[in-house]
C-alpha cells in the first residue's frame, strides 16, 4: 500500500510499460551485439525476420509459445493464490512419465484423438501429484513452497533418468528415451492454418496442443475471476487473515491451487513429446518451466497477457536460433544473454521505469493520476 506509485490509465499500465521495458532490453542487447562486432540493426532484423518472416518461422514461434503458455498459466494460477510455484520445470518433466506410459500403451490400438485425452489426463495428473507434495508440506508443515518446489525439480530429474534408462526405454536401445510413438500418439500439425494465409512451410512442429493451450488460458480466466474457487484463491492470495475470517481453509486452498498449477505445468509436456519429437527423451522440458515465470510476470498474471508474452518468448527462441545460424559471431550463448535481458527488464525490473512514466503522466495531466500511496491512511 505504501509504495508511492501513481495509478496509470490501463493502456499505459498494460501496453506502454511492457513496450518500454522491451525496448530497453533490446537496446542493451544491441550494445552486446555491437561488442562482438556485429550490426545490431541487422541482428534485430534477422531475429524478427526469423520469427515472423516466413511461414516456417511463424510455425516454430507458435510451437515454442504453446509450451510457454502452459508454464506461464501454471505460475499465474499459483501466484493468484499468493504462492510462488518454481516447480513447473519438474512438474512438466515428471508429466513426461505419464505421457510416456499412456502413449506406449495405446499408440498401437487407439487413434490420436483418443490417446490425446488420455495423455492430457495423465500429464495433468502427474504434474498435479508432483505439486501436491510440496503443497501438502507447505499447508501442514509450513515448509516453504519455493524451497520444496525447487528440490522437487531435482527429484523429478532423477526419477526421469531412472525411468528413461530403465523401463521406458526399449530393451535393445542405448539411448535414454522411449521408442518413437506410432501414429496413434502423434498430434496433428496445425501448419496448414498458417499455409491458408499463403505461407509455405517445409516442416514445423506447430500442432494441435496450441489450441489446448488457448482453451486452458480461457479456462484459467474463468477459474480466477468467475468461480467461487478462484474467488477463494484470490482472497487467500491477498490476505491470509481475510481468508481465515471468511472461513476459507488455508490447507485446502493451498493444495487445490498448487494442484491446478501443477496440472497446467504437466500439460506443457504434451507439446514437445506428442507434438514434436514423438518420444519422451531426457531433458525434453529444457527450461520452459522457468521461462513460465517470466511469461507470467510479463503477462501481469492475466491469461491474455500470458498468451502475448508467450508468443514474444516464442519469437525470441525461434528468432534467436535463426540469428545464431545467420551470424556466426553471435553464438548460441549470446542468444541466451539476449533472452536473459528481456527477462531481466520485463520481469525482474518490471517496475524500474514505472515511477518515471508516472511522473510524466502526473505532469501531463495530474487529473488522471491518483497516487495509491496514502490510501487508507486516514481510515
Partner 1 sequence: MAQAAIELIGINKSFGAVRANRDINLEIVRGTIHGIVGENGAGKSTLMSILYGFYQADSGEIRVGGQPASIKTPNDAIALGIGMVHQHFMLVDNFTVLENVILGAESDALLKRSITKARSELERLEREYGLEVDPDAIIEELPVGLQQRVEILKALYRGAEILILDEPTGVLTPAEADHLFRILKQLKEQGKTIVLITHKLREIMAITDTVSVMRQGTMVATRETRKTTVEELAELMVGRRVLLRVEKGEAEAGDVKLAVKNLTVKDSRGVTMVDDISFDVRAGEIVGIAGVAGNGQSEMLEAISGIRRAVSGSVMLDGKPIDLTGAADPGELRDRGLAHVPEDRHHVGLVLAFEENENSILGYHDDERYLKGPFLDIDAIRNDARDKITKYDIRPADCRLKTANFSGGNQQKIVLAREMEQDPGVLIVGQPTRGVDVGAIEFIHKRLIAMRDQGKAVLVVSVELDEIRSLSDRILVMFAGRIVGERGPEATEGELGLLMAGVERQEAAE
Ligand X SMILES: Nc1ncnc2c1ncn2[C@@H]1O[C@H](COP(=O)(O)OP(=O)(O)OP(=O)(O)O)[C@@H](O)[C@H]1O
Q: Does 376 bind partner 1 (CB under 8 A)?
A: yes
At 44, which helix (H) or strand (E)?
helix 40-48
Smaller CB separation from ligand X, 39 or 368 = 368
Nearest-approach distance from CB 370 to partner 1, in angstroms: 4
By CB under 8 A, tell whether 141 contacts partner 1. no
Residue 300, phi-psi category: left (phi > 0), alpha (psi -120 to 50), beta (remainder): left
**207 SS3 class:** strand
Minimum distance, C-beta of residue 88 to Mg ion, in the bound complex (Å) = 43
DSSP string, 309-376: HHHHHHHHHHHHHHHHHH-TTS-HHHHHHHHHHHIIIIIITTTSSHHHHHHHHHHH-GGG--B-TTTT
- Residue 352 vs residues 17, 343, 368: alpha-carbon distances, Å: 10, 13, 21
Binding residues for partner 1, rule CB under 8 A, total 36
User: Which residues here bind ligand X, judged by CB under 6 A?
Assistant: 370, 372, 375, 378-379
Burial of 172 (0-12, 13-18, 19+ CB in 10 A): exposed
Say which entry of partner 1, Mg ion, ligand X, none residue 229 contacts (CB below 5 to 8 A, set by partner kind). partner 1
Stretch that binds Mg ion, among 43-51, 306-314, 358-366, 370-378 (CB under 5 A): 370-378
Sequence-ordered list of residues with C-beta below 8 angstroms from that of 132, at least 6 positions apart, any chain: 255, 258, 259, 262
Please give the residues from 209 up to 238 whose contact with partner 1 meets the rule CB under 8 A.
Answer: 222, 226-229, 231-232, 234-235, 238
| Region binding partner 1 by CB under 8 A among candidate stretches 23-31, 45-53, 72-80, 365-373 | 365-373
Report the first-to-last Cα separation within the chain, whole angstroms: 13
Residue of the chain from 175, 211, 246, 329 that contacts partner 1 (CB under 8 A): 246
Closest distance between ligand X and the C-beta of residue 376, in Å?
A: 8
- The site partner of 252 among ligand X, partner 1, Mg ion, none (C-beta below 5 to 8 Å per kind) is none
Provide, rounded to whole angstroms, the least separation between the CB of residue 379 and Mg ion: 6
Three-state secondary structure of 98-110: HHHHHHHHHCCCC
357 lines the binding site for partner 1 (CB under 8 A): no
Binding-site ranges for partner 1 (CB under 8 A) = 1-2, 4, 222, 226-229, 231-232, 234-235, 238-239, 241-242, 244-249, 362, 366-367, 369-379
Amino acid at each position: 500500500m505504501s509504495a508511492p506509485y501513481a495509478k496509470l490509465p490501463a493502456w499505459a499500465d498494460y501496453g506502454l510499460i511492457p513496450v518500454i521495458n522491451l525496448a530497453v532490453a533490446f537496446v542493451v542487447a544491441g550494445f552486446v551485439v555491437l561488442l562482438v562486432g556485429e550490426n545490431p540493426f541487422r541482428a534485430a532484423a534477422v531475429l524478427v525476420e526469423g520469427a515472423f518472416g516466413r511461414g516456417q518461422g511463424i510455425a516454430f514461434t507458435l510451437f515454442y509459445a504453446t509450451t510457454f503458455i502452459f508454464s506461464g498459466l501454471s505460475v499465474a494460477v499459483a501466484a493468484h493464490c499468493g504462492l510462488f510455484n518454481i516447480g513447473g520445470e519438474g512438474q512438466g518433466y515428471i508429466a513426461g512419465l505419464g505421457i510416456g506410459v499412456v502413449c506406449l500403451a495405446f499408440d498401437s490400438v487407439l487413434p490420436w484423438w483418443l490417446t490425446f485425452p488420455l495423455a492430457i489426463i495423465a500429464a495433468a495428473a502427474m504434474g498435479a501429484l508432483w505439486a501436491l507434495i510440496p503443497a501438502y508440506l507447505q499447508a501442514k508443515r509450513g515448509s516453504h513452497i519455493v524451497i520444496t518446489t525447487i528440490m522437487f525439480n531435482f527429484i523429478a530429474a532423477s526419477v526421469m533418468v531412472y525411468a528413461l534408462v530403465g523401463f521406458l526405454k526399449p530393451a535393445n536401445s542405448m539411448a535414454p528415451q522411449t521408442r518413437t510413438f506410432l501414429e496413434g500418439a502423434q498430434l496433428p500439425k496445425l501448419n496448414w492454418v498458417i499455409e491458408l494465409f499463403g505461407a509455405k512451410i517445409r516442416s514445423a512442429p506447430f500442432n494441435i496442443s496450441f489450441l489446448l493451450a488457448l482453451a486452458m488460458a480461457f479456462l484459467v480466466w474463468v477459474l480466477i475471476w468467475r468461480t467461487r474457487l478462484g474467488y477463494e484463491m484470490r482472497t487467500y492470495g491477498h490476505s491470509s487473515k481475510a481468508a481465515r475470517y471468511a472461513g476459507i481453509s488455508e490447507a485446502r486452498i493451498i493444495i487445490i491451487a498448487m494442484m491446478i498449477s501443477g496440472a497446467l505445468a504437466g500439460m506443457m509436456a504434451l507439446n514437445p513429446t506428442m507434438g514434436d519429437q514423438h518420444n519422451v527423451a531426457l531433458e525434453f522440458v529444457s527450461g520452459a518451466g522457468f521461462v513460465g515465470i517470466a511469461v507470467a510476470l510479463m503477462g501481469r498474471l492475466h491469461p491474455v497477457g500470458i498468451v502475448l508474452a508467450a508468443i514474444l518468448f516464442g519469437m525470441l527462441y525461434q528468432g534467436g536460433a535463426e540469428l545464431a545460424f545467420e551470424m556466426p559471431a553471435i553464438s548460441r550463448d549470446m542468444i541466451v544473454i539476449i533472452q536473459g535481458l528481456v527477462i531481466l527488464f520485463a520481469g525482474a525490473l518490471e517496475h524500474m521505469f514505472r515511477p518515471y512514466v508516472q511522473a510524466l503522466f502526473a505532469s501531463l495531466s495530474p487529473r488522471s493520476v491518483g497516487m495509491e500511496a496514502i490510501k487508507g491512511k486516514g481510515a
